[in-house]
């Protein structure tokens, strides 16, 4: 069976490759500890689960999702109220919010709604792989702009040639950033919006780590930038703050025309989110938020443990202000694949090679902090025990 070009053009999905490597090592009897995938290890808060159970028993919810393809009115009001409370951004729930089956889904629908075949989309390098895939699926053309460590992994819009800026339809951002853990100051979002307005480009910030931040840092929303609503949308997700990755519920907010375009794609693709999951989403956004500080407390301890381990290996790394990852340069100038392979062979520990996020990720690697404390401690202990073998120059 011949697959469509868009599938043939995809780079092999990073996490699938990692899963294969883990399986191979396990088959050889290695007790593998995976720090590869970012999926919270803690349960969904109980009041959210209770609300799902209660509303799932009500036959009124055993139908197609109510209201319309944009999502339940009550859920969208909860989104708008949360954005106001949390980011000081006012949204019209009817026109400026959209319920998503996760922010990953939003990427695909944004590209389908606004890219014609051959249209350019400006994507950072390195970046979360789904952005690239969504542009290919829409028959668009990704144009990658480098993120520089010296600039705090922020792009420089002066790097974008003017003919590219003229032809581009879409600019993807993601701060706090996966994989680099970088955060963006509000002045950067002002620059991004100004660039997008000058060139008539839609700018989107993928924002699933808005709540996963440390040491008193509070990430700002792109929509708080001056003039943002003319050109900007933002995706957020209940996956990371409420440990709901498998539930598949998120949101797009911002420019009403962009929201309407995405809703039109959704109307013709999926029929929305199960009502009971939307009720549970309301409970998550409106209920007690203490789970978030509890979670970030756990991630912060893990973060500090891993930072200390990398430093003991001579790897220089600063504790990130946000996200549940650590991003660091490989020791001894090893390639990211060499280093990942050595960690797996020598210590049975899986990390993600930076190359999987784009060519600018080469020479770096990512670890995820979403693993039980005892397993993370065991992983770090093994790494320290094999320190000499791990850091010897690559042959």
Ligand X SMILES: *Cc1c(COP(=O)(O)O)cnc(C)c1O
Residues that bind ligand X (CB under 6 A): 38, 102-104, 128, 174, 178, 206, 208, 237, 239, 245, 250
Packing angle of the helix pair 46-56, 275-286 (nearest 10 deg): 150
Asked if 238 and 250 touch (Cβ cutoff 8 Å), the reply is yes
Tell me, what DSSP letter sits at residue 11?
P
Residue among 128 and 132 whose Cβ is closer to ligand X = 128
Residue among 211 and 390 whose Cβ is closer to ligand X = 211
Q: C-beta of 313: minimal distance to ligand X in Å?
A: 26
In what side-by-side order are the strands of the sheet with 364-368? 325-329, 364-368, 352-353
Q: C-beta of 203: minimal distance to ligand X in Å?
A: 16
The 3-class secondary structure across 330-354, one letter per residue, is: CHHHCCHHHHHHHHHHHHCEECEEH
Q: C-beta of 378: minimal distance to ligand X in Å?
A: 25
For 41, how many CA atoms within 13 A lie in the half-sphere containing its CB? 18
Q: Which residue is nearest to ligand X (CB)?
A: 102
For 104, how many CA atoms within 13 A lie in the half-sphere containing its CB? 10
Q: C-beta of 291: minimal distance to ligand X in Å?
A: 17
Residue among 214 and 384 whose Cβ is closer to ligand X = 214
Q: C-beta of 237: minimal distance to ligand X in Å?
A: 3
Strands 352-353 and 364-368: antiparallel
Asked if 368 and 387 touch (Cβ cutoff 8 Å), the reply is no
Residue whose token pair is 């994989």: 179
Task: Round the CA-based radius of gyration of the chain to a whole number and report it.
Answer: 21
Residue among 38 and 65 whose Cβ is closer to ligand X = 38
Residue among 178 and 309 whose Cβ is closer to ligand X = 178
Q: C-beta of 172: minimal distance to ligand X in Å?
A: 10
Residue among 104 and 342 whose Cβ is closer to ligand X = 104
In whole angstroms, what is the distance from residue 255 CA to residue 231 CA? 6
């Amino acid at each position: 069976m011949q697959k469509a070009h868009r599938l043939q053009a995809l780079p092999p999905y990073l996490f699938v490759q990692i899963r294969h490597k883990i399986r191979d090592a396990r088959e050889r009897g290695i007790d593998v500890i995976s720090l590869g995938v970012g999926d919270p290890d803690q349960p969904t808060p109980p009041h959210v689960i209770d609300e799902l159970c209660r509303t799932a028993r009500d036959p009124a919810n055993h139908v197609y999702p109510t209201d319309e393809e944009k999502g339940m009115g009550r859920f969208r009001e909860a989104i708008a109220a949360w954005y106001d409370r949390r980011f000081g951004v006012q949204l019209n729930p009817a026109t400026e919010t959209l319920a998503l089956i996760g922010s990953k889904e939003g990427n695909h629908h944004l590209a389908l709604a606004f890219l014609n075949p051959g249209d350019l989309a400006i994507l950072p390098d390195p970046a979360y792989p789904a952005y690239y895939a969504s542009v290919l699926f829409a028959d668009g053309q990704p144009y990658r702009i480098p993120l520089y460590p010296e600039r705090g992994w922020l792009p420089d819009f002066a790097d974008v040639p003017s003919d590219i800026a003229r032809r581009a339809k879409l600019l993807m951002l993601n701060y706090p950033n996966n994989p680099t853990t970088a955060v963006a100051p509000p002045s950067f979002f002002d620059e991004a919006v100004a660039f997008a307005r000058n060139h008539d480009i839609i700018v989107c910030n993928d924002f699933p780590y808005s709540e996963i931040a440390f040491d008193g840092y509070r990430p700002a929303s792109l929509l708080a930038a001056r003039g943002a609503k003319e050109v900007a949308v933002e995706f957020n997700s209940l996956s990371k703050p409420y440990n709901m990755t498998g539930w598949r519920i998120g949101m797009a907010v911002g420019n009403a025309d962009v929201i309407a375009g995405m809703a039109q794609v959704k109307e013709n693709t999926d029929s929305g989110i199960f009502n009971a999951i939307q009720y549970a989403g309301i409970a998550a956004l409106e209920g007690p938020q203490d789970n978030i500080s509890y979670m970030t407390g756990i991630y912060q301890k893990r973060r500090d443990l891993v930072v200390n381990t990398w430093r003991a290996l001579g790897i220089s790394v600063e504790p990130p202000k946000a996200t549940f990852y650590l991003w660091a340069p490989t020791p001894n100038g090893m390639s990211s694949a060499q280093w990942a392979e050595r960690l797996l062979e020598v210590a049975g520990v899986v990390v993600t090679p930076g190359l999987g996020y784009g060519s600018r990720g080469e020479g770096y690697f990512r670890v995820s902090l979403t693993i039980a404390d005892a397993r993370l401690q065991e992983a770090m202990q093994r790494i320290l025990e094999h320190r000499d073998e791990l850091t010897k120059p690559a042959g």
